[in-house]
């Protein structure tokens, strides 16, 4: 029976992925992480019954605390089969509005914390093989004026995923990277406050994709940046056609 760690599990996409993966018969042990205990407890309540679910409210940028926790989990369960790096942060600003604090916070949460937890998990995972899935963003592959720190941190995740996919293949570790488009979560509200959340992709839809990717049928999709995006339905505009009277050239 497999053991799975999910970060960013207190709400949004991390919650949806935790719920979706809990439907998988071969995963029995879940360790769900975020800073907000309330949110984690709520997620736990939505996950499939009969699973062993441990939740830890932890700030992923407390690197040493995370290392200690992963070591304890690895020792308790013997290995860690799945690591799902979802936690993320956005405070979108233009270049001249971006402070060094904003830049550093964005990178500490979005990039450094993934490096830190992945390194610690791989110390166990390399013995048995396993799967790692990182959540990047479409903003990491196309320009986003005004989102400099966030978008570039997501590009870093795509690059890290591709490098690790090759580096860790000798251990039987598959590394996946998904880049969601707009998805109705609290983070999206920060990026696009005026958008109607009912018109865009829902977190559960991303959860379903991840469940499929990490199943046996997803074994040929590692090492690539997989875009997960829903086409937004356009309102059919009523088009008024004016026909010029015969003989009149307009
Ligand atoms: N929504 C979108 O449109 C979209 C599009 C592309 C990519 N993404 C990516 O998807 C991922 C999930 O985002 P979301 O949209 O689901 O946003 P969200 O609802 O705001 O969730 C963010 C999650 O990250 C956790 N988190 C943030 N900072 C943390 C820290 N220092 N330590 C531990 N946990 C931390 C939050 O938990 P706590 O606050 O409880 O710690 C929360 O569980 C992010 O990486 C985001 O960049 C989102």
Instruction: Determine if ligand 1 sits within 6 Å of the CB of residue 87.
Output: yes
Q: Which CATH class is domain 2-228?
A: alpha beta
pLDDT tens-digit readout, 118-164? 999 999 999 999 999 999 999 999 999 999 999 999 999 999 999 99
Q: Which of 5, 6, 8 to mutate to test the pocket of ligand 1 (most atoms within 8 A of CB)?
A: 8
Percent of the chain with pLDDT over 90: 90
Average pLDDT for the chain: 93
3-state secondary structure labels for all residues of 106-122: HHHHHHHHHHHHHHHHH
pLDDT at 250: 32
* Cα dihedral sign, 194-195-198-199: positive
Give residue 85 CA to ligand 1 midpoint distance, Å. Answer: 10
Place of tokens 């979560």: 185
Tokens found for residue 75: 């020792």
Specify the ligand 1 atom closest to the Cα of 108: 31
DSSP conformational letter for 183: B
Residue 112 and residue 157: Cα distance in Å, rounded?
A: 10
Over residues 177-200, mean pLDDT: 96
Give residue 187 CA to ligand 1 midpoint distance, Å. Answer: 6
User: Would the pLDDT of 240 be above 70?
Assistant: no
- Adjacency order of strands within the sheet including 130-135: 52-57, 27-34, 2-7, 82-85, 130-135, 173-180, 225-228
Higher pLDDT, 104 or 217: 104
pLDDT tens-digit readout, 54-64? 999 999 999 99
Q: DSSP H helical segments within 24-81, as ranges?
A: 37-46, 63-77
Instruction: Determine if ligand 1 sits within 6 Å of the CB of residue 66.
Output: no
Residue 242 and residue 203: Cα distance in Å, rounded?
A: 44
Instruction: Determine if ligand 1 sits within 6 Å of the CB of residue 182.
Output: yes
Confidence of residue 235 (pLDDT cuts 50, 70, 90): low
Helix (H, G, I), strand (E, B), or coil: what is residue 84?
Answer: strand
Instruction: Determine if ligand 1 sits within 6 Å of the CB of residue 134.
Output: no
Residue 99 and residue 81: Cα distance in Å, rounded?
A: 38
Ranges of each domain in the chain = 2-228
pLDDT tens-digit readout, 14-50? 999 999 999 999 999 999 999 999 999 999 999 999 9
Give the list of residues 6+ apart from residue 234 with CB closer than 8 angstroms, or none: none
Instruction: Determine if ligand 1 sits within 6 Å of the CB of residue 51.
Output: no
Residues 183 and 13: beta-carbon distance below 8 Å: yes
Write the CA distances from 163 to 83, 84, 123, integer angstroms. Answer: 16, 17, 17
Q: What is the pTM of this model?
A: 0.94
pLDDT tens-digit readout, 42-90? 999 999 999 999 999 999 999 999 999 999 999 999 999 999 999 999 9
Tell me phi and psi for residue 23, to 5 degrees.
Answer: -80, -10
Q: Which of 13, 113, 115, 179 to mutate to test the pocket of ligand 1 (most atoms within 8 A of CB)?
A: 13
The neighbour count for residue 244, using CB atoms within 10 Å, is: 8
pLDDT at 217: 87
User: Would the pLDDT of 108 be above 50?
Assistant: yes
93-102, 103-112, 208-217, 228-237, range with the lowest pLDDT: 228-237
User: Would the pLDDT of 9 be above 70?
Assistant: yes
Instruction: Determine if ligand 1 sits within 6 Å of the CB of residue 186.
Output: yes
Give residue 229 CA to ligand 1 midpoint distance, Å. Answer: 17
Give residue 238 CA to ligand 1 midpoint distance, Å. Answer: 39
Give residue 10 CA to ligand 1 midpoint distance, Å. Answer: 9
């Amino acid at each position: 029976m497999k053991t799975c760690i999910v970060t960013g599990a207190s709400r949004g996409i991390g919650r949806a992925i935790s719920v979706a993966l809990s439907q998988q018969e071969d995963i029995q042990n879940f360790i769900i992480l975020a800073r907000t205990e309330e949110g984690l407890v709520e997620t736990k309540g939505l996950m499939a019954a009969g699973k062993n679910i441990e939740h830890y409210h932890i700030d992923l940028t407390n690197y040493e605390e995370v290392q200690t926790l992963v070591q304890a989990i690895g020792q308790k369960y013997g290995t860690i089969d799945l690591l799902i790096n979802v936690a993320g942060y956005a405070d979108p600003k233009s270049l001249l509005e971006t402070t060094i604090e904003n830049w550093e916070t964005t990178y500490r949460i979005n990039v450094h914390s993934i490096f830190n937890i992945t390194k610690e998990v791989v110390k166990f995972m390399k013995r048995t093989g396993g799967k790692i899935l990182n959540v990047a963003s479409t903003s990491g592959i196309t320009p986003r004026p005004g989102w400099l720190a966030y978008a570039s941190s997501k590009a870093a995740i795509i690059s890290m995923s591709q490098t690790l996919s090759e580096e860790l293949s000798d251990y039987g570790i598959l590394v996946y990277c998904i880049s969601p488009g707009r998805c109705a979560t609290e983070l999206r509200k920060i990026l696009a406050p005026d958008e109607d959340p009912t018109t865009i992709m829902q977190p559960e839809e991303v959860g379903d994709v991840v469940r499929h990717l990490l199943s046996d049928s997803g074994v040929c999709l590692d090492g690539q940046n997989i875009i997960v995006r829903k086409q937004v339905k356009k309102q059919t505009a009523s088009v008024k056609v004016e026909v010029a009277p015969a003989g009149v050239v307009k």
